[in-house]
Amino acid sequence: MAGVVSKVAVIGSGISGAVCASILAKNGISVTVFESARGPGGRMSHRRETSEDGRELSFDHGAPYFTVNSKNLEVQSIINEWESRGLIAEWKETFGSFDFSTKKFVNVDEEGSNKRYVGVPGMNSICRALCHEPGVESRFGLGIGRVNWLEDIDMWSLTSLDGHDAGHFRGVVTSDKNTFSSRFTNVTGKPPPIDLNSISDMALQIKEVPTIPCFALMLAFEQPLSSIPIKGISFKNSEVLSWAYCDSSKPGRLTSRLVYVCELWVLHSTAEYAQHIISQAGFQKPSSALLTKVAEELFEEFQSTGLDISQPYFKKAHRWGGAFPAASIAGEEKCFWIAQKRLAICGDFCVSPNVEGAIGSGMEAAAKVIKGMRLTPL
Ligand SMILES: Cc1cc2nc3c(=O)[nH]c(=O)nc-3n(C[C@H](O)[C@H](O)[C@H](O)COP(=O)(O)OP(=O)(O)OC[C@H]3O[C@@H](n4cnc5c(N)ncnc54)[C@H](O)[C@@H]3O)c2cc1C
């Protein structure tokens, strides 16, 4: 790390924010990451659960894996570095499709030619490591509720969701579109932390991005599901299920501590199914009764494949209200940059609705901030 010169706040510890923070720190800019959740990762989260009989389980209940287009050399270089540090590994299992109309597996081994990468031992491992690099201070469980530009001192002032002063910063990177969109208001009833209209005439360009929801179902089985010949399944002709993954088949998962766990699976609902449930129940936090109903319905659909699927000893659903952005809005720029106020906006919604897009956006936001800081030294 070069000599530390100035402070930037990064809002969000998902992969775009974590990548951005780590690059800033490596370039001598001290960073504070603010994350409203208890831990890092955002939609690359890893969740610990305990079964009724006390077994410790853990699931990647967000992104199950990611790929990188081999022509995307910038992102590939950062991936290679993570692989050599042991933060990620290739998931080499066989993938394929299952067609509900014929009740048959199809296209086995033909699902994509790019390498599938996973974080080790969980998808959040990458963000966790990046958020703890030298020069990065991370504050988890601290959501930002207000971001104000102070013209007289040429700085940003941040306030936490519960109204406490979170500090002054020369630059801000926000990596979640909810920090400036009406979805924040739908969920919290409060105005979004950043009022783009008061900050920049670019506000009109930075559109509201609709999101696509998804329910994830975490399952633990006593015995391996030996009737299923593959470890990643995309479903065709189902209105309810889109994917199923054998989580415990990923590299670095079943440690000796988890030896009694046997086999873990994560199922993903279709967007249509999730939209239907949310249109009835609303945006607020789902009740446990609703999550139980969703868990039953997703599992019933899994069993209706006709494959031999035993009852799991653990079954729990999670709602992702905004699993994927429905549009990418930054084009070739890959992020938004408001130079006069050193504000960067990044995330998957800027480039493409996946981990690769989020990494590329976070890298570009860091490049903009580094250049901006050099142009306006203290
Ligand atoms: C079910 C599911 C399946 C997926 N499958 C795949 C896949 O197969 N392959 C793939 O490449 N991608 C997949 N994705 C998408 C991938 O996870 C995302 O594209 C990527 O993780 C987005 O990263 P991000 O940094 O842009 O946003 P996020 O991960 O959403 O990070 C934003 C962070 O900001 C935090 N935050 C928000 N507001 C505040 C605030 N006011 N104060 C403090 N913190 C705040 C949030 O808590 C969050 O941690 C999947 C996602 C889901 C949910």
**Residue ranges of the domains in the chain?**
1-40+124-208+327-378, 47-68+91-121+210-326
The matching CATH number, chosen from 3.60.150.10, 3.90.660.10, 1.50.10.10, 3.10.20.30, for 47-68+91-121+210-326 is 3.90.660.10
Among 307, 377, 376, 368, residue whose Cα is nearest residue 24: 368
Residue 207, pLDDT score: 76
Which ligand 1 atom minimizes the distance to the CA of 145?
Answer: 41
Pocket of ligand 1 (CB under 6 A): 11-17, 34-37, 42-44, 62-66, 143-144, 175-176, 178-179, 193, 214, 216, 268, 320, 323-324, 347-348, 353-356, 358
Residue-by-residue DSSP string for 91-159: ----EEEEETTTTEEESTT-S-SSPPEEESSSTTHHHHHHTTSTTEEEEET--EEEEEEEGGGTEEEEE
Question: Do residues 44 and 62 touch, judged by C-beta distance below 8 A?
Answer: yes
In the predicted structure, residue 113 carries a pLDDT above the cut 70: no
Among 215, 216, 221, residue whose Cα is nearest residue 260: 221
Mean pLDDT of the chain: 92
Pairing assessment for the beta strands 263-269 and 241-246 based on DSSP bridges: antiparallel
Residue 260, pLDDT score: 66
Among 345, 346, 344, 342, residue whose Cα is nearest residue 376: 342
Question: Do residues 144 and 161 touch, judged by C-beta distance below 8 A?
Answer: yes
User: What is the average per-residue pLDDT within 237-241?
Assistant: 98
pLDDT, one tens digit per residue, over 143-156 is 999 999 999 999 99
Residue with the larger pLDDT of the pair 266 and 6: 266
Residue with the larger pLDDT of the pair 202 and 313: 313
pLDDT category at 3 given cuts 50, 70, 90 is very low
CA nearest ligand 1 atom 33, residue: 12
Q: How far is the CA of 106 from the centre of ligand 1 (A)?
A: 30
Which ligand 1 atom minimizes the distance to the CA of 193?
Answer: 41
Neighbours of 289 (CB within 10 A): 8
Q: How far is the CA of 28 from the centre of ligand 1 (A)?
A: 26
Residue 187, pLDDT score: 77
Structural fold of domain 1-40+124-208+327-378? FAD/NAD(P)-binding domain (3.50.50)
pLDDT, one tens digit per residue, over 158-188 is 999 999 999 999 999 999 998 988 878 877 7
Which ligand 1 atom minimizes the distance to the CA of 353?
Answer: 19
Q: How far is the CA of 201 from the centre of ligand 1 (A)?
A: 27
3-state helix, strand, coil in the chain (%, to 5): 30, 30, 40
DSSP type of residue 47: E
